Structure 1
Amino acid sequence: MGVQMDAKTSGLPRLLLLSGIGGTLEFFDFVIFLFLAPFITKNFFPPDMPEWLATVQALGIFAAGYVFRPVGGLVMAHFGDISGRKRVFQFSIVLMAFATTAIALIPTYETLGSSAALLLVLLRIVQGVALGGEAPGAWTFIAEHVPARHLGLACSFISSSLIVGVFMASLVTMAANWFFSPQEMLDYGWRVPFVVAGGLGLVGAFLRRWLSETPVYLRARQERAVVNSLPLAIVLRSHWKAISISLVATWILSAVVIVTTLMTPLILQKHYGFDAQTALAVSAFGAPCVFVGAIAAGYLADRIGLGSYFMAASLPFAATTYLFYAHVTPASGNVYFLFGIASFFKGMVGLVPCFMVRAFPGPVRFTGISLAYNVAFAFFGALTPVVIGALLPSASFVHLHYMMFVAAGAFLLGLYAFVRPEAVRYQAGRDEGLSNSGHELAQRR
C-alpha cells in the first residue's frame, strides 16, 4: 500500500510531478509509433506491396488507436467513478506499457506473414483503450486533489505534460536514427524506441503507486454518494449543459493541437516551401514554448478568473498565429521567433480541462469528461486533417482562417464562462467537487 499523501501535506509541486509524469510517458508510448511508421511499413507488409499502399495501411493502424480511445475512456471512466480514480489511473499506464513493449517484441511479416500486421492492429487498439482514460483520468485526479485556487495551474500543467511526451518521442526517434545506420534501424533498431517507451511507462506506473485516492471520491464514498447505477446514463440524462461546454472546449483544444502542432510540419513543407528537416525542427522548437505558455496561463487564470483569462488570451493567440502563418517564409530570419511566440500563447488551451472538471459533479465527473473529450477529439481529430489537407491546394490559407475561427470560439467560450460562471462551477446544495472541503476531510482521516 502506497504512502498516503495529499496536496496539503506533500506539496503541490510533488503531486503535479507524480501525476504529470505518467501522462508524459503514456503519450510518449502512444505517438512513438507514428515517428517509426516508415520502418513499420517495411517490416509488417509484403515487400511487393506498393509503398503508398503500405504507408496508408501503417497510418491506418496508427489511427486504430484513436478510434478505440472513446471506448477505453468510457470503460475506464465507468470504473473510475464507481471504484475510485487511483485504480484506473494506475491501470491505464500499466496497460499502455504492456502494449508498447509487446510491439517491440512481435515478429515481422517475414516470420508471421499477414498475422504480424493483425497483431500490430490489436496492440494499437490496446494502446488506444489505455490512452482513452489517461487525460480525463489525470485531469479528474489532479483537480480533485488540489485546492480550488490552484485549479488552473494544476490542469494546465497536466495538459502541457502530455505535449512533453510527444516531444520526448521525437527526441528518442532522432537519437535512434543517429545511433543506428539505416539498415540497422530497418533490421532491429526500430524496436529500441518501443523498448525505451515501454520501460519508461513501467517507471511511471511505479511512481504513481505513491499517489493517494482523491479527497472528493473518499468523501463521496464515506457519505454513500458514489453512483451505483450506470454513470454514463446519468451523464446523458442530466448533464447536457456540461456536455455541451466540454464538447466546445475539446473542439478548441483539438483544433489547436492538430493544426499548430501535428500538421504544421506538413503545412510548412507543402505551402511555404520548407525542407522536411527544417519544418520538423521548427515544430519541435514550439513544444517547450507551449509548456511555458500553459504554465503561465494556469497561473494567471487562477488570479483573474478562467473566463476573463480565456477572453484576454484569445486575442494574442489570434494575433501571433496570424503573424506566423501569414508572413513566415524559408528566407525569413524570424521563423523560430514567430513560431515560439505563437506557441507560447497557444498554451492557453492547457486550461481547457478546467471548463470540464468544473462543469460536472464529482460522482460522474470522470465519465462526463471522458465522454465529451474522447468523442469530440475522435471526431475532430479524424476530420480536421482530412479537410484541411484536401482544401490546402486550392485554399492555401485554410489553416490560418480556421485558426482565426477557433480563436473567436475561444473568446466566446471565455465570455460565456465570465457571464455565466455557474455553468462552469457545479453546485448542488453544497459543492461536491472542487473545494477545500475535500482536503479538510483528507486531513481528518
Structure 2
Amino acid sequence: MMTTTHDTTDGTHGHYTPAERRTVRKNLVGIGMGNLLEWYDWNVYASFTIYIAAHAFNDADPASALLSTLAIFAVGFIARPFGGFVFGWIGDRKGRKYSMTLAIVLASFGSLAIALLPSYETVGAWSSLMLLLARLLQGLAHGGELPSSQVFLSEVAPAKHRGLWSSWIYVSGTTGILAGVLLAAVLNLTLTAEQLDAFGWRIPFAIGAVAGLYTLYLRRNMEETEAFTNIEKSGAPKRNIFSQIWEHRLGALQVIGLTIGITVAYYAWAINAPTYANTQLGMDRGLTLWAGVIGNIVLIVSLPLWGMLSDRFGRKPIMIISAGAALVLYLPIQAWLRNDFLVLVLSVSLMSAILAGALAIMPAMFSELFPPEVRTSGIGFPYALAVAAFGGTAPYIQTYASGQDYNWFPLYTMALLVITLITVFTVPETKGKHLG
C-alpha cells in the first residue's frame, strides 16, 4: 500500500526519511486496524445470530428470539447516521485522531459487552436490553469510524497518491469481513454445537474487544493531521456545525448521490450474493460462502489498482467506468446466475472487481469536496445516512423482491446507479487537490 515517495511542501517529488516512514506505517496500521475491527464486529454478529438469540431472549419461542436479534442488528444501522453526525462534529472540533480514538473505544466496549452478556435465564429482559445498548454503541462507533478514518487518511496522504491511499479503507474493511468469516468457519470446525452454544459464540467478540485495546494504543500514538492542526493554529472562531453543513449542502447531497448506487450494488454482490445463491438458487451454503470469500479477495486485490489509476487519470473517469460498467452488466450477470459454483464465483468476482473502482476512491473523492473545517461533518452524516437507508436495507429488499412474481431488485439497483452516474457529472475533478 505504501509508496516510497511523497510530495514535499515545495511541490517537488521527494523521498521519505526513516522517521517519515515510521509515521506512515503507524498511520496506516492505526487506521487499518480500527477499520478492520469495525467491519469485523459488524460481520461476526450476523454470523452468530442464532446463538445470540438463544442467550439474549426467551428461548421458549426460538423464532421470536431470532427475529428480535435481527431487529437489534438493524438498530445498529439506525444508529449509524447519528454516529456519523456526532463523530463528524467531534472530528471537526476536537480532531480526526480524537474522533477515531473515541470510536474504537465505543466499538470495543460494545464487543466486550456482548462477549460477557448474561443469559436471559439469569437476568431476564436485562440481557436483551444490554444487547440493544451494545449494538447501539457499535452502530454509533461504526457511523463515526468511517468518515473520521477516511478524512484522516486523505489528509495525511500525498496529494499525488491520495487515490491509492484511499483504497486502504475498503482493503482493511474487507479484510475484517474475511477475518470474521474465517473465524466463524474455524470455530464451527473445532467446536461442537454444544460448545458453540455454551461459550464458543462469545470468542469472536472477546477477540474484538482485546484487539480494540491494541488499536487504541496505536491510535493514541498517531499524530494529528496537518490540515486540522492548521485550523487550530489559525485561531478562527468555531462556527455552528448546522450552518456549515447547510452552507456545503451541495457537497453533502453529492456524497449521498455518489454512495447510494454503489453501496446497494456492493451489498447485493459482495455481501449478500452467497445468501441469495443459497436461498433462491438452492446452492450448498458452504460453497456459497467460499464463493463470497473468493469474491472479497478479488475486491481486495482490485482496490489499490483502481486507486492508482485514479491518481493518474482522475476520480471522475474511474467513477464513471465503475458505476457505468456495473449498470450495463448488472442484468446480464444476474441472468447468468444459476446453481453452479464456478458461475457464482465468476459473477461475484467480476462485479466485485468492477465496484472496486468506485469503492477505492470514494474516501478521497469525498474529502476533496469539503474544506477542512467541515470535512468530517460534511461527509459523516450524509454518508452514514445513505449507507443505513440504502445499504442496510439492500439484503432485505433483495430477498423480498426475489420472492415476488417479478424480481425487480436489479431494476431498483440500476436506477440508483443511474443517480450515482448523474451525480458524478456534477462533481468537479479533484485529483491532486491540496486539502489544506
Q: Same fold by TM (over 0.5)?
A: yes
Deviation track 1:339-373 (CA, whole Å, cap 9, x = no partner) reads 22221111123222233211111101111111111
Structure 2: distance between partners of 1:262 and 1:143? 26
Do the aligned residues in 1 keep the contact of 2:83 with 2:140 (CA within 8 Å)?
yes
Question: What SS does the corresponding residue of 2:282 show, helix, strand or coil?
Answer: coil
Counterparts in 2 of 1:142-157, with a 5 A limit? 142-157=153-168
Amino acid in structure 2 at the alignment position of 1:385:
P
Match of 1:85 in 2: 96
Amino acid in structure 2 at the alignment position of 1:365:
R
Do the aligned residues in 2 keep the contact of 1:328 with 1:335 (CA within 8 Å)?
yes
Structure 2: distance between partners of 1:48 and 1:384? 31
* Offset, 1:152: 1.2
* Offset, 1:198: 1.2
Do the aligned residues in 1 keep the contact of 2:287 with 2:341 (CA within 8 Å)?
no
1:303 aligns with 2:315: no
Do the aligned residues in 2 keep the contact of 1:151 with 1:354 (CA within 8 Å)?
yes
* Offset, 1:307: 0.6
Residue from 30, 40, 44 that aligns with 2:56: 44
Q: For the structure 1 residues 266 and 395, does the alpha-carbon distance in structure 2 shift closer, same or farther, using more than 3 Å as the test?
A: farther
Q: Matched residues, percent identical? A: 26
1:60 aligns with 2:59: no
1:384 aligns with 2:394: yes
Match of 2:39 in 1: 27
Amino acid in structure 2 at the alignment position of 1:74:
F
* Offset, 1:415: 3.3
Residue from 317, 323, 327 that aligns with 2:336: 327
Where does the alignment leave 5 or more consecutive residues of structure 2 unmatched? 1-5, 8-15
Counterparts in 2 of 1:278-317, with a 5 A limit? 278-317=287-326
Q: For the structure 1 residues 299 and 17, does the alpha-carbon distance in structure 2 shift closer, same or farther, using more than 3 Å as the test?
A: farther
Do the aligned residues in 2 keep the contact of 1:26 with 1:201 (CA within 8 Å)?
no
- Number of residue-to-residue matches in the alignment: 418
1:165 aligns with 2:164: no
- Aligned residues: CA RMSD: 2.3
Do the aligned residues in 1 keep the contact of 2:26 with 2:218 (CA within 8 Å)?
no
Do the aligned residues in 2 keep the contact of 1:232 with 1:367 (CA within 8 Å)?
no
Match of 2:278 in 1: 269
Q: For the structure 1 residues 396 and 177, does the alpha-carbon distance in structure 2 shift closer, same or farther, using more than 3 Å as the test?
A: farther
* Offset, 1:271: 2.8
Q: For the structure 1 residues 79 and 332, does the alpha-carbon distance in structure 2 shift closer, same or farther, using more than 3 Å as the test?
A: closer
Match of 1:346 in 2: 355
Do the aligned residues in 2 keep the contact of 1:320 with 1:338 (CA within 8 Å)?
no
Tell me the TM-score normalized by structure 1: 0.87
Structure 1: distance between partners of 2:77 and 2:413? 23
Bigger Cα displacement from structure 2, 382-391 vs 145-154: 382-391
* Offset, 1:406: 4.1
Question: What SS does the corresponding residue of 2:156 show, helix, strand or coil?
Answer: coil
Match of 1:247 in 2: 256
Match of 1:429 in 2: none
Amino acid in structure 1 at the alignment position of 2:156:
H
Structure 1: distance between partners of 2:301 and 2:394? 26
Question: What SS does the corresponding residue of 1:68 show, helix, strand or coil?
Answer: helix
Structure 2: distance between partners of 1:157 and 1:406? 25
Deviation track 1:369-409 (CA, whole Å, cap 9, x = no partner) reads 11111122222134433333322122554333334334434
1:198 aligns with 2:209: yes
Structure 1: distance between partners of 2:297 and 2:342? 20
Residue from 125, 139, 147 that aligns with 1:128: 139
Tell me the TM-score normalized by structure 2: 0.89
